[in-house]
Amino acid sequence: SSDGNDKQDSNQGNSNSRASDMAATLARAVEHYTDALLVMHAGHVVAVGDHRSLVRHEAVGELMRLSPPRNVEGLMMPGFIDTHVHFPQLDIIASYGHCLIDWLNTYTFPAEQRFADPAHAAEVADAFLDALLCHGSTSAQVFATSHATSADALFRAARARDMRVHAGRVMMDRNAPPALLDSGVTALKDDERLIADWHGRDRLGYVLTPRFAPTSTPEQLKAAGQLLKSQPDLHLQTHLAENLDEVKWVAELFPDARDYLAVYEDVGLSHERTTFAHGIHLDDGMRQRIADQGASIAFCPTSNLFLGSGLFDRASARAMGMNISIATDVGGGSSLCELESLKAAYQIGQLHGAVAHDVAGLESRANQPLTPWQGFYQLTLGNARAMRLQDKVGNLRPGMEADVIVLDPAATPLLARRTRWGQSSQVSLQEVLFALMMLGDDRVIREVHVAGQCRKLHGLMLSASSE
């Protein structure tokens, strides 16, 4: 998908003229070649397009051709971007039955304490990045634990795979087990050391990572704001308004703040390179402030369902002009597969429509379940834009980093029946994409190429130490 796709999709309307405007914009926004050639060199895209018009490039670089017979196998697109995920929670994914705060205390904090051991951190970092790649996510914005060595382990593993990974050590100085708490200014020194070692190195970026308002003192949040201001290209990630008990707790802990968002705003933590995970329990005033500040919300649909956090109001967020991404939030999220995220986002959109219809008795702006165009745009260029990385990843234009995946729309017998892929009566691209987002899992991710290097082929993972 290319520029404008998301914008045109926000033009909801019933009139024929709006529908035909939409169809025309869509035709411009989606580029699809049935016999495609992708030319890559030195980890970047050189050219992409129709095979016949690009044969002159064949001498230039490494080629990926999706043409007969391979076009019966694959749908090539940019690698997915997971904008919010916790690598130390890999091993507690699918832990039964708690809401946010209980879940943190019961599963998360004990699991994160094990990362004091660098060998454990290294083992999980390798497993986590391989699992991401296996699911087609070639880039990610990641929480480590509060141990600096956990961030080191993740960056090292990402570098071995040449992946675009933006990550940070979690900052916490209250309301968590003592073994996970930062002690005063030494912790900030850790962040400064990590920035010096990793930020901007190869495809890595450092992200300041105060976990969320309840686990930081006002002083720690203020210090994070100062550090953020001192380094103009640093990113920031945290959680915001995920759960109603959390919102209440924040009001008690920060009685002087106007609302939850203001806790971050007041110390300069909401800006255009900020990712707020969740943002479920916001009013339009807060949505507008986030939009004005250029921050983004990572919508984490499988997590919101799994932890019972609430139904994210994507339509209102879009109506206010907010930047949105879609992310897995593993281990709160129940899958590393971004196709599963799309499925859950679609279902949440359906429920929103039903709830709004019940309450208002009217067609509502909320009645907009995610379309496949929106979904695949979001996982690629949309998520890249939310993270301000659209000049690096998210599409396959010349000059972009060559992160490419190939999906197999006939990966399972049911998908093969539904998509009729490779048959003369194949269904439309839109229907194929929708079937993938409803029925797909890591089995449909047939090939994964990271910076031009193949990491998964014929559905099988290849070794990370390729060089």
Chain residues binding Zn ion by CB under 5 A are 277, 329
Write the DSSP string, 118-137.
Answer: HHHHHHHHHHHHHHHHHTTE
Nearest approach in angstroms of CB 89 to ligand GUN is: 6
Cα(296)–Cα(294) distance, integer angstroms:
7
Closest CA to 79 of 445, 457, 466, 460: 445
In the bound state with ligand GUN, the residue whose beta carbon lies nearer, of 102 and 391, is 102
CA distance 293 to 291: 5
Does position 100 interact with ligand GUN (CB under 6 A)? The reply is: yes
* Beta carbons within 10 angstroms of residue 161's beta carbon: 22
Q: Which stretch binds ligand GUN (CB under 6 A): 34-42, 100-108, 146-154, 216-224?
A: 100-108
Q: Contact between 88 and ligand GUN (CB under 6 A)?
A: no
SS3 assignment, position 330: coil
84 vs 164, beta carbon nearer ligand GUN:
84
Q: Cβ closer to ligand GUN: 44 or 120?
A: 120
Nearer to ligand GUN, 33 or 109 (CB): 109
Return d(Cα 290, Cα 285) in angstroms, integer. 9
Run of H or E residues at 436: helix 429-439
Least distance between Zn ion and beta carbon 410 (Å) = 34
Considering the rule CB under 6 A, would residue 108 count as an interface residue with ligand GUN?
A: yes
- Cβ 307 to ligand GUN shortest distance, Å: 6
**CB-wise, 132 or 432, nearer to ligand GUN?**
132
Distance CA 138, CA 136 (A): 6
Check binding of 104 to ligand GUN (CB under 6 A). yes
For 431, the token pair is 């229907």
C-beta of 211 vs 235, nearer to ligand GUN: 211
CB of 329 to Zn ion, least distance (A): 4
Pick between residue 108 and residue 380 the one whose CB is nearest to ligand GUN: 108
Neighbours of 277 (CB within 10 A): 28
Could you identify the residue written with the tokens 């039964």? Answer: 96
Q: 171 has which bridge partners?
A: 210
Separation of CA 277 from chain center = 10
Q: Does 242 bind ligand GUN (CB under 6 A)?
A: yes
Question: Residue 167, interface with ligand GUN (CB under 6 A)?
Answer: no
329/447 with CB nearer ligand GUN: 329
Q: Indicate which of ligand GUN, Zn ion, none lies near residue 211 (CB less than 5 to 8 Å, by partner kind).
A: ligand GUN
> Of 250, 273, 272, which Cα lies nearest the Cα of 262?
250
* b/e 216-250 (16+ beta carbons within 10 angstroms → b): beeebbebbbebbeeeeebbbbbbbbbbeebbebb
For residues 222 and 19, what is the distance between their CA atoms, to the nearest angstrom?
48
* 169/211 with CB nearer ligand GUN: 211
Size of the residue set binding ligand GUN (CB under 6 A): 11
Question: Binding to ligand GUN by residue 239, rule CB under 6 A?
Answer: yes
Asked if residue 336 binds ligand GUN (CB under 6 A), the reply is no
**Structure tokens, 401:** 């980093």
Reported residue count of the chain is: 467
Min. distance of Cβ 309 from Zn ion in angstroms?
Answer: 10
Q: Which of residues 255-314 bind ligand GUN (CB under 6 A)?
A: 303
Q: Which residues is 39 bridged to in the sheet?
A: 47, 63
3-state secondary structure string across 352-374:
HHHHHHHHHCCCCCCCCCCCHHH
What Rg do the C-alpha atoms of the chain give, in angstroms? 22
447 binds, among ligand GUN, Zn ion, none (CB under 5 to 8 A by kind): none
Shortest gap between Cβ of 333 and ligand GUN (angstroms)?
8
Least distance CB 372 / ligand GUN (angstroms): 26
212 binds, among Zn ion, ligand GUN, none (CB under 5 to 8 A by kind): ligand GUN
Select the residue interacting with ligand GUN from 9, 63, 83, 86 (CB under 6 A).
86
Site for ligand GUN in 200-229 (CB under 6 A): 211-212
279 Ramachandran zone, left/alpha/beta (phi>0; psi -120 to 50):
left
Among Zn ion, ligand GUN, none, what does residue 108 contact (CB within 5–8 Å per kind)?
A: ligand GUN
Q: Which residues bind ligand GUN (CB under 6 A)?
A: 86, 100, 104, 108, 211-212, 239, 242, 303, 329, 332
